[in-house]
């Protein structure tokens, strides 16, 4: 009889909003999300994720266990065979990939973009056309890098930080070179 809300309430749980997401923890004695994420908090903050806007949604039905799809984004071994076109712009070789584990238990893999694959293109590759086009967009002269293709990434980062806010990418100023 009457309003049963006082007797049928849900259990309160800790929750925080960060990077545009609501983070819920079922442990009432948990540490703060910032402490839990450790170095990821600062790294993700640089991307200004809470300001992002979805402009495209793609759904694909893949008849497999979800772990197969997740694994696809946790390694780079498949790039040379499945995405050979990325050899011009992504270093997929593990020897040139940064792997980190934080004391909080998180890990990450950082692959170098805007860098041709040494494993597939050699130690002194020509400047690939897609990378040259990207450089031109960011007002860099590809001929300045004819024999310095592995210097392109750093030059692009500097230009993207310099011109980013004028082109709608204000968050570039917040990113580190590894990002």
Same domain flag for 37 and 59? yes
Residue with more model confidence, 167 or 111: 167
Q: How many domains does the chain have?
A: 2
Which residues, listed in sequence order, are joined to residue 24 by a DSSP beta bridge?
A: 15
Same domain flag for 27 and 50? yes
Same domain flag for 163 and 85? yes
Residue with more model confidence, 71 or 152: 152
Q: Which of 3, 88, 17 is nearest to 49 (CA)?
A: 17
Q: Say if residue 1's pLDDT is above 80.
A: no
70 part of a folded domain: no
98 part of a folded domain: yes
Q: Which of 143, 68, 24 is nearest to 131 (CA)?
A: 143
Which residue, chain included where needed, has tokens 């890098």?
Answer: 145
The parent domain of residue 163 ranges over 75-179
**Residue 15, by phi and psi: left (phi above 0), alpha (psi -120 to 50) or beta?**
beta
At 91, is the secondary structure helix, strand, or coil? strand
Q: Which of 129, 107, 128, 109 is nearest to 117 (CA)?
A: 128
- For the chain, give the mean pLDDT: 89
What's the whole-number mean pLDDT along residues 90-114? 88
Which of 5-19, 67-81, 117-131, 152-166 has the highest average model confidence (pLDDT)? 152-166
Residue with more model confidence, 17 or 85: 17
Same domain flag for 112 and 164? yes
The predicted pLDDT at position 21 comes to 96
Which residue, chain included where needed, has tokens 């994720």?
Answer: 49
Q: Which of 50, 40, 52, 54 is nearest to 17 (CA)?
A: 50
């Amino acid at each position: 009889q009457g309003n049963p809300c006082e007797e049928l309430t849900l259990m309160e749980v800790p929750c925080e909003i960060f990077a545009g997401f609501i983070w819920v923890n079922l442990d009432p004695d948990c540490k703060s999300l910032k402490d839990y994420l450790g170095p990821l908090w600062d790294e993700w903050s640089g991307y200004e994720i809470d300001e992002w806007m979805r402009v495209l949604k793609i759904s694909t039905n893949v008849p497999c266990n979800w772990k197969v799809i997740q694994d696809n984004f946790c390694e780079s071994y498949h790039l040379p065979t499945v995405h050979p076109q990325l050899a011009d712009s992504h270093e997929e070789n593990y020897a040139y990939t940064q792997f980190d584990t934080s004391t909080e238990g998180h890990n990450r893999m950082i692959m170098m973009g805007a860098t041709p694959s040494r494993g597939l293109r050699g130690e002194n590759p020509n400047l690939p056309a897609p990378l040259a086009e990207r450089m031109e967009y960011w007002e860099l002269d590809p001929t300045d890098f004819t024999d310095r293709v592995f210097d392109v990434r750093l030059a692009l980062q500097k230009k993207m930080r310099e011109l980013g806010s004028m082109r709608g990418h204000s968050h570039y100023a917040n990113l580190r070179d590894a990002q």
